[in-house]
Structure 1
Amino acid sequence: MKLSSKALLALAISSITATAYAEPASQDFVPTTLASTSAQGEAKGFIEDFSLGGTTRNWYSHESKYRGGTFAYQKHGQTLTDRNRTNWVQGTILNASSGFTQGTVGVKTEVAVYNALVLDRSKRDIKGGSNRTLADSNGDAVDQWSKLGLANVQFRVSNTTLTAGRQNFSSGIVDTIGNRALPSSFQGVSFNSEEFSNLSFQGGVFDRVSPRSEQSLSKFRTEYGNGAETDKVSTLGVNYQPLKSLKTSFFAANVKDFWNQYYFGATHELGDAQQLGLTTGFNYYKTVDEGKKEMGEIDNDTFSLSLGLTHQAHSLTFGYQQVNGNEYFDYLHETNGIYLANSLTSDFNGPNEKSFQIAYAINMAEYGVPGLKFNAYSARGWGIDGTHYTGNNGRAKFAYDGIQSQDGEKHQEYGVGASYAVQSGPLKATAIRATYVEHRGSEFQSDGSIKEFRLVTTIPFNIL
């Protein structure tokens, strides 16, 4: 189960619909021309543009399972269980970044040190190691740990940048995930080219991921699979804006011996949010097995469609999502490579699952309190059917073992949240967010029944 900071209001869509535009969205065609400026031509210098800063995040979560669900932990050689789990971690990022050197080819370096300080160290509370609190082999919390989260060198010509080393990367298939005290990052080589006014290209080859709550680098594995690993992920894509109101994105990825995955996304804006604005979002994934088929035979089509209505401070969003395939819609672990409208506490990604969400958000800036927002949502999934799953076509170990018992499973989820961003003063841009989520699943639905309260405070800082 993917417990995400998107858990309230599916931020992938609420971030679109909560914005109030000053004028109607233009439907004008955008011609493709060469970029009018060169980013490298405006380089200030390696030292002259040096910066040192970062963020510190206080991340607290309390979960309670119900309807018979429990968490387990080891104590004095015995396995003990109870309903609750608490994680409380302070994550700090210190980022040192140079500017680009001047000249035809610019060079830049970036290094970021990640540090985690565990504030709740009770073995009973943290329930062993997880992607929330790092624990040793005995299940005891690692009180404090650090690592290089970023360490890369960048080369730039005009508006095209090549990055080598440990880095962030963002696309519909491979995307840094930052919903814990510290984010993930990737090791490899990537490029980003913005030589045209409304057309950009991205690509990368990565061999390791730096997980959110681990000190070492790891091979890639999938979020829902059998633990199989791969050491090569290649991706290539394009972002294109044909209209001022329409943005599109297409990416393809090869995950060696797992699958080939293709993604298409589009967002269209219509009207004036001060009167009535409509935002339409569409996301589609196609996944097929590849190479040694370590994840079994896969032929999966998954899509979501969202419609968001905005009137001044108020946003109402509807999201429909459907999985066409006898296995989960799956994606890479320690990534945010799931740009689907109903990816919440549950991803609503079971075999052949259909789901619907309704979400409401209010931006209190319209009422004189800029930075304060509230939201709520309710989502329901049904028709989960894994009875036709054939596994690895005769192999002893199924990629998604247990999925065959899911026959007509269903689940529901709701959540409420509040957030505030400081608008001025020494703590400007400090963000505080509180959320409460409750999820209830039928007997064999994979996410179970769980409640979670989460409180996250993120404070940015600049030293140089």
Structure 2
Amino acid sequence: MSLTGLSAMAHADSASQDFVPVTVKSTSAQAETKGFFEDQSLSGTTRNWYAHERATRQALFKHQSSDGTSHPTHKRTNWVQGTILNYTSGFTEGTVGFSTEVAAYNAIALERGRATVAGPNNRTLTHRDGDVIGQWSKMGLANVKARVSNTTLTAGRQSIDTPVLAYIANRALPSSFEGVSLHSAEFDNISFDLGTFDRLSTRTEQGTSKFVAEYGDRAFEADHVNIGGINYQPLKSLKTSFYVSNVEDLWNQYYFGATHELGDSSVLSLSTGLNYYKTVDEGKSLLGDIDNDTYSLAFGLTHQAHTLTFSWQQVNGDEYFDYLHDTNAIFLANSLLSDFNGPNEKSLQINYSLNMAQFGVPGLKFSLYNARGWGIDGTNYKGTAYDVKKMDGENHYEWGFGTSYAVQSGPLKDTAIRATYTAHRASKNQGDGSLDEFRLVTTIPFNIL
């Protein structure tokens, strides 16, 4: 579940519209380092992740019995405890500083019933026959960093969060990527990202794999993913970003995004979020011809504790708007339980959120939304990599509500508890099907060093 592109923000004062000149930072992160061991830390999180799904029409899941017989089922329950132990050193002193980051990931399946888990899936690690693997571990992160001033080069397994390649953390454990990246923040209001990656460490696997499409034929793999981007803040109230990615022999993707804040939330403020993707086939075009323009535009009105957001999203193309599997590289406002990214799909979401800090309960939030998608049409698709040709006027809708609480103080400070209930209903050939889902996720951070 991805909710990106626009977030409600509370402002004590009216959002400034002042121009921000491009200036070199007066401070250097490397000059302020205290040393490799002096700045080291050992910390982590443990997450209890529970989800129960119920298909309301046809059976959407299946499981295998011990004799290899496949059985369709309307229900699926996954319950996993995921723990991350992360060691991060400081940077060595000098003009060029070096550091390292290592994170061990561990998962324990608390629900191990073969029929209940209904694997294989991307929630609980199982063998190919669906038999649950009770406990497993892997090195989730392992990299070396070199820094000059405010520019850092990272080599190894790492987390990247950009509109065209982003780790996803909506399961018990997150995904990560193997490669080399460069992040430069030498200016106060401009930063740059470059990277090249060749392997993916998924959320629910011990090993690594090549990159594949989320919605396209996964028989076609990309050997390399190359990214580049710039983030620029021309006004105190306006942030923009432009990113490009090359997924070798699959596609080239171009992204532009902007967020703007106007007004004072104690009276009334307006948040505007724009996200636009252009995707075209590349190289050997293993997924066939791709020519896709997709965008979302969201407007959020905030008055004190209350935020009401309207989000419009549209896909212009005869295939899905696609992104890389096991990533969160879909910075679109209507990416929810469903991504609302079918061929030629139009969708509208209305979201209401309530921040209880205004009523003396900081950390407690509620949200309620309804989203509808229509006009899904893949009948003009000429290729074979996307299963869309039967989609002719398909439609679907989704609604959900949730609550979250973050502990504000004490030994459990920053512990987060989130409960959500989502219902999705779809026409016959819409790809997500009709189901209800309840999730309960508790994440507890801890510090050892």
Scaled to the shorter chain, the TM-score interval is: over 0.9
Q: Is 1:159 the equivalent of 2:145?
A: no
1:377 and 2:369 correspond: yes
**Structure 2 unaligned blocks of 5 or more:** none
Aligned to 1:56: 46
Residue equivalent to 1:426: 411
Partner of 1:210: 201
Matched, 1:194 2:185: yes
Read off the aligned partner of 1:399 and give its amino acid letter: A
Corresponding position of 1:36? 26
Q: In structure 1, what is the equivalent of residue 385 of structure 2?
A: 399
Q: Is the 8 A contact 2:5 2:273 kept in 1?
A: no
Secondary structure of 2:357's aligned partner: helix
Mapped partners of 2:140, 2:321: distance in 1: 29
Task: Please give the residue correspondences for 1:121-160 in structure 2 after superposition, counting only pairs within 5 Å.
Answer: 121-160=112-151
The one-letter code sitting in structure 1 at the alignment partner of 2:318 is N
Q: What is the CA deviation profile of residues 159-190 of structure 1, one whole-angstrom value per residue up to 9, with x for unaligned ones?
A: 00000000001110100110000000000000
Q: CA deviation at 1:11?
A: 5.0
> Residues 238-257 of structure 1: matches in 2 within 5 Å?
238-257=230-249
Per the alignment, residue 96 of structure 2 pairs with: 105
The structural deviation recorded for 1:25 is 0.3
1:444 aligns with: 429
> Closer, same or farther in 2 for the Cα pair 1:12/1:435, shift >3 Å?
farther
Q: Is contact 1:69-1:448 (8 Å) kept?
A: no
How far apart, CA to CA, are the structure 2 residues paired with 1:448 and 1:320?
A: 22
- SS of structure 2 residue aligned to 1:405: coil
The one of 244, 247, 252 equivalent to 1:260 is 252
- Which residue number in structure 1 is paired with residue 331 of structure 2? 339
Corresponding position: 1:231 with 2:223: yes
Deviation at 1:128, TM superposition (A): 1.5
CA distance in 1, matches of 2:60, 2:335: 24
Rounded to whole Å, the distance in 1 between the matches of 2:167 and 2:225 is 14
The aligned amino acid for 2:439 is R
Shift of residue 12 of structure 1? 4.1
Q: Are the counterparts in 1 of residues 350 and 370 from structure 2 also a CA contact under 8 Å? A: yes
Whether 1:325 aligns to 2:311 is no
Look up the SS of the partner of 1:365 in the other structure.
helix
Q: Answer yes or no: is the 8 Å Cα contact 1:248–1:265 preserved in 2.
A: yes
Matched letter for residue 166 of structure 2: D
Q: Deviations over 1:362-389 (max 9, x none)?
A: 0000000010000000000000000000
Give the 3-state SS of the residue equivalent to 1:224 in structure 2.
Answer: coil
Is the partner of 1:40 in helix, strand or coil? coil
Aligned to 1:356: 348
Which amino acid is 1:163 matched to? Answer: T
SS at match of 2:330: coil
Q: Is the 8 A contact 1:307 1:318 kept in 2?
A: yes
Deviation for aligned residue 1:69: 2.8
Query: How far does residue 287 in structure 1 lie from its aligned partner after superposition?
Result: 0.2
2:4/2:331 contact within 8 Å kept: no
Which residue of structure 1 lines up, in the alignment, with residue 444 of structure 2?
Answer: 459
Unaligned runs of 5+ in 1: 392-397
Map of 1:394 onto structure 2: none
- Checking the alignment, whether the CA contact within 8 Å between 2:60 and 2:433 is kept in structure 1 is no
| Root-mean-square deviation (Å) | 0.7
**How many correspondences in the alignment?**
447
Percent identity between the two aligned chains: 65
Code of the aligned partner of 1:407: D
Quick one: which amino acid aligns to residue 415 of structure 1?
Answer: G
Aligned positions of 1:267-306 closer than 5 A: 267-306=259-298
Equivalent position SS for 1:417: strand
Give the TM-score normalised by structure 1: 0.96
The match for 2:108 is 117
Aligned to 1:390: 382
User: Whole-Å Cα distance in 1 between the matches of residues 294 and 129 of structure 2?
Assistant: 40
- Counterpart code for 1:47: F
Contact kept, 8 Å, 1:355 with 1:380, in 2: the verdict is: yes
* Mapped contact 1:184–1:335 kept (Cα < 8 A): yes
CA contact (8 A) 1:360 1:376 kept: yes
Query: For the residues of structure 2 that align with 1:77 and 1:39, how far apart are their CA atoms?
Result: 58
Q: Secondary structure at the match of 2:31?
A: helix
Partner of 1:395: none
1:82: how far off? 1.7
Q: CA deviation at 1:77?
A: 2.0
